[in-house]
């Protein structure tokens, strides 16, 4: 909508706060520039949280719809990245709740990490043979759901206990406890693997 | 791109009168089509937007709700014998926007003569 | 290691260390400094945190670029409704008619004028005053970013002149003043390291740089 490719290119150079201000004024090109800039992180977070490639893209799309509607209420335009990620968190949790009502998670065909090849058929040997990151993925997959959510929201999105509590609709004390349990389990698994 | 619905995306065949039309005057559907052509042919008009602002997305469950009908680009309402016409337009920068808006209203009025008419034109985008 | 209890031999818990990692707060900081058990636990949690960052980087890389097709198809699916803002009345040739410009159409016009200037990008813009009353005095506020090396004062003066012309041509607003604030100085594309996200570039402290100029 801003017209020339030169102007589009310019938008890729400007800071978040300026783009968020323009988008709040109704500039769709600025909004799209924000979406492109933070899309990969939003998608990565949604994939880890939902465990599903298709759900993750639905989450990103729903997040952008909600963001466009609510952007003019954002008090600090410079904080737009964290704000987008908090919406991704809430939307992902919504998707998990919906999915639980419909289907067994283990039946997901488009499961995240499923595409990394045959080595994944045996998580144990994968942990031994694969990279440390692959081992962490496997350990993460074995965590209780609630612990994994806390861990991802903390480590991927750097949310505070209060923000995570809000997203998951639990108390900040529960967040602190679950996050600690998650880390202890993961740290132990990784130390054993070292 | 995430452009709002524009005239070029909606063939005139898709245009219908809004469901809020209070009195079904004969030929009103065809009239909306005609008027869309009249509005689009005014020099300086670059797009016509749905006359009823509509929030829609095809995200998830919202799909079934919003696919119920095609948004009307020109809304016609019979208001106690006076035909109320509503249009939302985008204009270029080659001509003054207020003059283009006036010309749209006059063109619509002229097209509908001798029917009593009240025209509402909103310029929702200038330039770009 | 014992997997049923997270209590260390010194009596402190890994859970306390986990919270310390996030908040920097712990009941007994002196003990923490000197306890080998606690230090070992902390080191283990920090290694996990580093590994977590590596997983994040790997996942973000797997997610693809925001310029790829997946994002384009998401954007194509969005129907972003225009933000009309206030309705600004226009003179009409017939008493039966109501003609308007939306506030959003004016801000789009302002942005397109600012973006068309070399090395300049518009930010937020605001119309102050009662735009719904014909003839009411209006002040326009525009924030702009200027690419480093472009003369700010001159850009602001040119932009103000061009905005005044565009607003006189395309609106019936009585413009009292056009205030232009330079909120950001951008690295020029040529001097920017390829791949450096704009967020990592450091514009000068906004407290020092904004130059607000007013129309006389």
Here the CATH number for the domain that contains residue B90 is: 3.30.70.1350
Residues C68 and C142 in one domain: no
**Number of domains composing chain C:** 2
Domain stops at, among C80, C97, C124: C80
Nearest to A149 by CA among A181, A120, A179: A179
Contact B124 C78 (CB under 8 A): no
Cβ-Cβ contacts under 8 Å, C94 against chain B: 105-106, 109, 119
Tell me if residue C97 falls in helix, strand or coil. Answer: coil
* C-alpha C145: how far from chain center: 11
What are the tokens at C96? 């039966």
Residue B39 inside a domain? The answer is: yes
Give percent of chain B with pLDDT exceeding 90: 45
Structural domains present in chain A:
1-112 (1.10.1740.10), 116-194 (1.10.10.10)
Q: Contact at 8 Å (CB) between C93 and B102? A: yes
Residue B79 inside a domain? The answer is: yes
> What are C19-56's pLDDT values in tens digits?
999 998 888 888 998 999 999 999 999 999 999 999 99
Residues C109 and C174 in one domain: yes
Average pLDDT, chain C: 84
Residues C209 and C124 in one domain: yes
B32: confidence class by pLDDT, cuts 50, 70, 90: confident
Rounded to a whole number of angstroms, the distance between the first and last alpha carbons of chain A is: 53
Chain C neighbours (≥3 Cβ pairs under 8 A) are: A, B
Query: What local confidence, expressed as pLDDT, does residue B59 receive?
Result: 34
Chain B neighbours (≥3 Cβ pairs under 8 A) are: A, C
Query: What local confidence, expressed as pLDDT, does residue C212 receive?
Result: 46
Residues C70 and C97 in one domain: no
Average pLDDT over residues C181-191: 78
Average pLDDT over residues B103-121: 94
Tell me if residue A115 falls in helix, strand or coil. Answer: helix
Q: Contact at 8 Å (CB) between A37 and A91? A: no
Query: What local confidence, expressed as pLDDT, does residue B50 receive?
Result: 81
Query: What local confidence, expressed as pLDDT, does residue A23 receive?
Result: 93
**Number of domains composing chain B:** 1
Q: Is the pLDDT of residue C70 over 90?
A: yes
Structural domain that includes position C167: 87-213
Phi, then psi, of B45 in degrees rounded to 5:
-80, 125
A 10 A CB-CB count for B65 gives 8
Residues C108 and C67 in one domain: no
Q: Which of C75, C84, C96 sits opposite B117 (nearest CB)?
A: C96
> What are B37-70's pLDDT values in tens digits?
999 999 999 999 886 554 433 333 333 334 444 5
Query: What local confidence, expressed as pLDDT, does residue C192 receive?
Result: 44
| Residues 6 or more apart in contact with residue C183 via CB below 8 angstroms | A17, A18, C123, C143, C144, C145, C206, C210
Phi, then psi, of A149 in degrees rounded to 5:
-60, -45
Query: What local confidence, expressed as pLDDT, does residue C158 receive?
Result: 93
Q: Which of C80, C84, C143, C183 is the best mutation test for A, with the most CBs of A within 10 A?
A: C80
Residue B1 inside a domain? The answer is: no
Contact B105 C97 (CB under 8 A): yes
Residue B40 inside a domain? The answer is: yes
> What are C86-135's pLDDT values in tens digits?
999 999 989 999 999 999 999 999 999 999 998 889 999 999 999 999 99
Q: B92: distance to nearest CA of chain A, Å?
A: 12
CA dihedral C125, C130, C134, C139 (to 10 degrees): -40
Given a cut of 50, the residues of chain A with pLDDT beneath it are: 1-6, 107, 116-122, 125-130
Contact B3 A31 (CB under 8 A): no
Residues C56 and C76 in one domain: yes
Residues C92 and C73 in one domain: no
Residue B2 inside a domain? The answer is: no
Q: Contact at 8 Å (CB) between B78 and B117? A: no
CA distance A40 to A51: 16
Beta strand C87-90 with C98-102: parallel, antiparallel or unpaired?
Answer: antiparallel
Residues C111 and C208 in one domain: yes
Higher pLDDT pick, C6 / C114 = C114
Q: Which of B1, B3, B59 sits opposite A58 (nearest CB)?
A: B59
| Residues 6 or more apart in contact with residue A155 via CB below 8 angstroms | C49, C52, C53, C55, C56
Query: What local confidence, expressed as pLDDT, does residue A46 receive?
Result: 96
CA distance A33 to A9: 9
Tell me if residue A108 falls in helix, strand or coil. Answer: coil
Residues C37 and C118 in one domain: no
Residues C44 and C97 in one domain: no
Q: Which of C2, C14, C16, C18 is the best mutation test for A, with the most CBs of A within 10 A?
A: C18
> Angle CA(B79)–CA(B81)–CA(B84) in degrees, nearest 5?
45
Query: What local confidence, expressed as pLDDT, does residue B60 receive?
Result: 31
Write down how long chain C is. Answer: 216
Residues C168 and C197 in one domain: yes
Query: What local confidence, expressed as pLDDT, does residue A194 receive?
Result: 55
Residue B4 CB-half CA count within 13 A = 25
Cβ-Cβ contacts under 8 Å, A61 against chain B: 57, 59-60
C153: confidence class by pLDDT, cuts 50, 70, 90: confident
Contact B59 A31 (CB under 8 A): no
Contact A32 B128 (CB under 8 A): no
Q: Which helix (H) or strand (E) holds A71?
A: none
Q: Which of C64, C74, C123 sits opposite A61 (nearest CB)?
A: C74
Domain stops at, among C57, C80, C103: C80
Phi, then psi, of C186 in degrees rounded to 5:
-100, 145
Cβ-Cβ contacts under 8 Å, A65 against chain B: 57, 59
Higher pLDDT pick, A109 / C85 = C85
Higher pLDDT pick, C8 / A176 = A176
What order of strands is seen across the sheet that includes strand C212-213?
C120-128, C137-147, C174-186, C212-213
Q: Which of A13, A25, A186 sits opposite C83 (nearest CB)?
A: A25
Domain stops at, among C80, C101, C128: C80
Give percent of chain C with pLDDT exceeding 70: 85
Structural domain that includes position B115: 7-126
């Amino acid at each position: 909508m801003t017209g020339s490719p030169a102007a589009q290119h310019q938008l890729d150079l400007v800071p978040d706060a300026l783009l968020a201000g323009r988008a709040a004024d109704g500039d769709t090109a600025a909004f799209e520039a924000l979406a492109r800039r933070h899309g990969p992180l939003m998608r990565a977070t949604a994939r880890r949280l939902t465990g599903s490639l298709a759900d993750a893209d639905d989450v990103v799309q729903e997040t952008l719809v909600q963001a466009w509607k609510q952007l003019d209420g954002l008090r600090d335009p410079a904080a737009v990245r964290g704000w987008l990620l908090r919406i991704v968190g809430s939307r992902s949790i919504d998707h998990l709740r919906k999915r639980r009502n419909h289907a067994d998670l283990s039946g997901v065909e488009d499961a995240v990490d499923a595409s990394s090849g045959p080595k994944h058929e045996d998580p144990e040997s994968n942990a031994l043979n694969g990279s440390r990151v692959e081992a962490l993925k496997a350990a993460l997959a074995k965590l209780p759901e609630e612990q994994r959510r806390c861990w991802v929201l903390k480590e991927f999105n750097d949310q505070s206990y209060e923000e995570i509590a809000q997203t998951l609709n639990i108390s900040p004390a529960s967040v602190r406890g679950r996050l600690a349990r998650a880390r202890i389990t993961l740290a132990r698994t990784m130390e054993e693997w070292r | 791109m995430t452009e709002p619905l524009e005239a070029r995306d909606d063939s005139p065949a898709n245009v219908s009168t809004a469901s809020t039309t209070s009195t079904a005057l004969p030929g009103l559907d065809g009239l909306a089509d005609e008027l869309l052509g009249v509005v689009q042919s005014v020099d300086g008009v670059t797009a016509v937007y749905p006359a009823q602002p509509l929030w829609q997305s095809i995200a998830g469950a919202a799909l079934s709700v919003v696919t119920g009908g095609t948004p009307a680009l020109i809304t016609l309402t019979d208001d106690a014998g006076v035909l109320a016409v509503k249009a939302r337009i985008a204009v270029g920068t080659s001509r003054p926007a207020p003059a283009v808006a006036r010309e749209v209203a006059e063109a619509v009025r002229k097209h509908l003569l001798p029917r009593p008419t009240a025209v509402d034109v909103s310029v929702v985008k200038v330039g770009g | 290691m014992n997997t049923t209890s997270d209590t260390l031999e010194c009596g402190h818990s890994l859970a306390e260390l986990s919270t310390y990692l996030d908040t920097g707060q712990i009941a007994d900081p002196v003990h923490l400094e000197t306890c080998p058990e606690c230090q070992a636990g902390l080191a283990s949690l920090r290694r996990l945190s580093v590994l977590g960052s590596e997983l994040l980087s790997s996942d973000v890389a797997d997610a693809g670029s925001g310029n790829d097709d997946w994002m384009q198809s998401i954007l194509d699916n969005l129907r972003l409704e225009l933000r009309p803002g206030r309705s600004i009345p226009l003179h009409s040739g017939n008493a039966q008619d109501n003609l308007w410009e939306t506030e959003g159409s004016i801000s789009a016009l302002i942005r397109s004028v600012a973006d068309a200037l070399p090395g300049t990008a518009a930010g937020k813009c605001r119309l102050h005053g009662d735009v719904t009353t014909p003839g009411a005095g209006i002040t326009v506020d525009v924030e702009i970013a200027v690419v480093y090396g472009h003369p700010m004062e001159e850009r602001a003066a040119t932009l103000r002149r061009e905005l005044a012309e565009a607003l006189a041509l395309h609106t019936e607003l009585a413009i009292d003043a056009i205030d232009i604030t330079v909120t950001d100085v951008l690295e020029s594309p040529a001097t920017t390291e390829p791949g450096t996200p704009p967020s990592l570039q450091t514009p000068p402290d906004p407290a020092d740089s904004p130059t607000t100029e007013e129309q006389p």
